[in-house]
Structure 1
């Protein structure tokens, strides 16, 4: 379970931390190249020929200008041995830390695909803004350490964005496995999760640590509590759902242009 907190006090602290000036630099953190490519094309971004990242890492950065915004899209790239996307919390947290240090963003957008719970109203193709994020696979059954393991955090508040674009809002739960064990399912229920992914809570942890506002835009590829095997459904819907994510992300950027975080 997430630790109890004073909503009013949390809101006051968040308001103090949110810059009032217009957003200038947006950092997209996207786990898979398939998810990132449509946005790279949409915003006409160029790949960085002189990487801002440490030598030898597979991380990739695309950058450019769109309207009044400087946009960076970073991906963890391909595993140097196996050639697959470096999904999961370890790559996500390292990339987030390095990107914040190098690029100094005003706002992070973690865009990607996710599983969704039909019991919470999710359907394939739905696009969500996460209100809260937490882990479901860091089980530390010791008082207080258990709360640390869950690592519950609030995303940057975006009521105007959600209303204007008619996006669904739900809680996001993160773990390093695509499938769901009974222990994970129990933890996700405790997290009151509507959507699940493999990066969000790790990115939220680093963003909170370095005091950068972050929002989480997730498009549902598979139904976690459905009848189809998760991997099969994910691969079947990936391209179509990525197109929905691309459209939503473009609308989000258009809405953000000229606004401060406090206006989202």
Structure 2
């Protein structure tokens, strides 16, 4: 959602950018700039927003817009790393709280792609890898958690069972689609997610999302800026490049 990204766009003084006329036919929005605190070795940044759906005039959310945005970003800008940043739900039983910000752990899953056919069952599950950001989690005192994605704000009992079986602690609507694009293009990817609702204590996700959204986005912006600062260091960029070379093609 654009409101999730606006704080980062403002803090980083990023400018709107249209890479080529083709994208004028899509609702995608691109913002570009260099990280201002590192003028001698600048970190080039792109924020891609899926934009508003032209038919329904709401923010384009979910896995399909996320995959399109991620693929367009990889195609046009060839990033060293992809990041899915946004809000999410979690579980009090795993120690989550409203506004707590997670980094992705080892794996991204889908929990609503139920395809009970040999081969397609694994495809539906996803299980795409996250870049190892455990060092960032330690440095910034952020928790790690596996992430599971679907296209619904609520969930069914089957969804919940799948989330549990995946060992996921974060439920959201985009990251696994971005991880799929990262996997098929050989681009390292991880996620930053700020919690708006606790599935096991406040099952009314829509009202909790609306009530807690502003605070969660403020925390998301703060922690994402801290992660960007860490990645601006030469040693972090080198580690990402080395990881990229090891990814299966």
Same fold (TM over 0.5): yes
| 1:62 corresponding residue in structure 2 | 31
The C-alpha deviation readout for 1:20-48, integer Å capped at 9, x for no partner, is xxxxxxxxxxxx00100000000001111
Partners of 2:238 and 2:164 in 1: CA distance: 30
Residue 83 of structure 2: aligned partner? 109
Residues 14, 32 of structure 2: 8 Å contact kept? yes
Distance in 2 separating the partners of 1:123 and 1:222: 8
2-structure distance, mates of 1:232, 1:57? 30
Give the TM-score taking structure 1 as reference length.
Answer: 0.85
Q: In structure 1, what is the equivalent of residue 217 of structure 2?
A: 242
Instruction: Give 5+ residue unaligned stretches, structure 2.
Output: 244-249
Partner residue, 1:95: 69
Structure having greater relative contact order (Cα 8 Å, sep ≥ 6): 1
Q: Secondary structure at the match of 1:105?
A: coil
Whether the 8 Å CA contact 2:104–2:133 is kept in 1: the answer is: no
2:237 aligned partner: 260
1:260 deviates by 2.0
Matched-pair contact (CA < 8 Å) for 2:19–2:76: no
4+ runs deviating over 6 angstroms? none
SS at match of 2:23: coil
For residue 248 of structure 1, give the secondary structure of its aligned residue in structure 2: helix
Between stretches 44-53 and 115-124, larger displacement belongs to 44-53
Pick the aligned partner of 2:145 from 157, 165, 170.
Answer: 170
Q: Could you tell me how far apart the structure 2 residues matched to 1:51 and 1:135 are?
A: 32
Of 186, 202, 206, which residue of structure 2 is paired with 1:211?
186
| TM alignment of 1:30-69, pairs within 5 A | 32-48=1-17, 51=20, 54-66=23-35, 67=38, 68-69=42-43
Question: What is the rounded CA distance, in whole Å, between the counterparts of 1:172 and 1:189 in structure 2?
Answer: 11
The 3 A distance-change label for structure 1 pair 261 and 115 is: farther
Aligned residues of 1:176 and 1:198 also touching (Cα < 8 A): yes
Deviation of the 1:74 alpha carbon = 0.4
Specify the SS of the correspondent of 1:123.
Answer: coil
Instruction: Give the paired residue count.
Output: 233
Q: Secondary structure at the match of 1:55?
A: helix
State the Cα distance separating 1:56 from its structure 2 match.
Answer: 1.1
Distance 1:227 1:104 in 2: 40
CA contact (8 A) 1:51 1:61 kept: no
Structure ranking higher in helix proportion = 2
Q: Aligned pair 1:86/2:91, yes or no?
A: no
2:129 equivalent to 1:154: yes
Contact 1:53/1:98 (<8 A) preserved? no
Distance 1:215 1:53, change over 3 A: farther
Q: Does residue 233 in structure 1 map to residue 231 in structure 2?
A: no
Match of residue 7 from structure 1: none
Tell me how far apart the structure 1 counterparts of residues 11 and 204 of structure 2 sit (CA, whole Å): 32
